[in-house]
Amino acid sequence: MNIVIIKYNAGNIRSVNNALLRLGHSAEITADPEKITRADKVIFPGVGEASTTMKYLRETGLDNLIKELKQPVLGICLGMQLMCSHSEEGDATCLNIFDEQVRRFQLPQPNPGNLKVPQMGWNQIYDLKSDLFDASLEGQYVYFVHSYYVAMGHDTAATTDYVLPYSSALQKDNFFATQFHPEKSGKAGEKILSNFLNL
């Protein structure tokens, strides 16, 4: 199988490749449009800031390329947020694959549970609705680090509670996305990555 991880100005790319290696696969990390278009599976990872990353994607033409991909695509963390229509982070116009807004968590006042922003750590995914998941993953803990979130919507494929119930995964056609980091989520994360590779 030919797996490509899209290379752009964001961190976290090596972690995804390490996770694939542990599953017995290897990916090519590349920004080459031809290689990305031809791949069987495309992973769009990301840790970074939305507006500067979108600017980079537009300058390199990767924005239109990603939108037009036909094979299974998996966006992770910032990758998922960039696949939405707009992010409050740096007031960024994003790829609009998912017709959703990305907003910053607003802590409740008062805050008896001592919630923090970013949400950092392990939280549960539930109401799973995508081939990315299977019944064994319902209610499992996965690893999150994020200050911005996607509200519940038409394309919600998993729900998580933090401040409010929100979309911890999205799916529309061949586009899959997780707010959490499957590459850092232990056995549950490995199951999700291998489900994606088996699509």
11 is a contact residue toward another protein (CB under 8 A): yes
Contact pattern from residue 51 through residue 90 relative to another protein, giving x for each residue in contact according to CB under 8 A and a dash for the rest? ----------------------------------------
How near is the Cβ of 169 to another protein at its closest, in Å? Answer: 17
Q: Which amino acid is residue 156, in one-letter code?
A: T
Q: Out of 162, 166, 175, 196, which residue is the one contacting another protein (CB under 8 A)?
A: 162
DSSP-derived 3-state class of residue 161: strand
Nearest Cα neighbor of 30 from 22, 21, 39 is 39
Q: Which is nearer to another protein, 70 or 187 (CB)?
A: 187
List the structure tokens of 2: 């030919």
Q: Which is nearer to another protein, 52 or 174 (CB)?
A: 52
Q: Out of 107, 136, 173, 198, which residue is the one contacting another protein (CB under 8 A)?
A: 107
Nearest Cα neighbor of 26 from 46, 48, 51, 43 is 43
**How far is CA 58 from each of CA 64, 82, 194, rounded to the nearest angstrom?**
8, 12, 30
Q: Give the DSSP per-residue string, 46-90.
A: --S-HHHHHHHHHHHTHHHHHHT--S-EEEETHHHHHTSSEETTT
Q: Which is nearer to another protein, 116 or 129 (CB)?
A: 116
Q: Give the catalytic positions in this structure.
A: 77, 181, 183
> Is-contact 148 46, C-beta < 8 A?
no
Q: Out of 9, 30, 71, 124, which residue is the one contacting another protein (CB under 8 A)?
A: 124
Residues found near another protein in the complex (CB under 8 A):
11, 14-15, 18-19, 21-22, 47-49, 107, 114-124, 141, 143-145, 161-162, 181, 183-187, 189-190
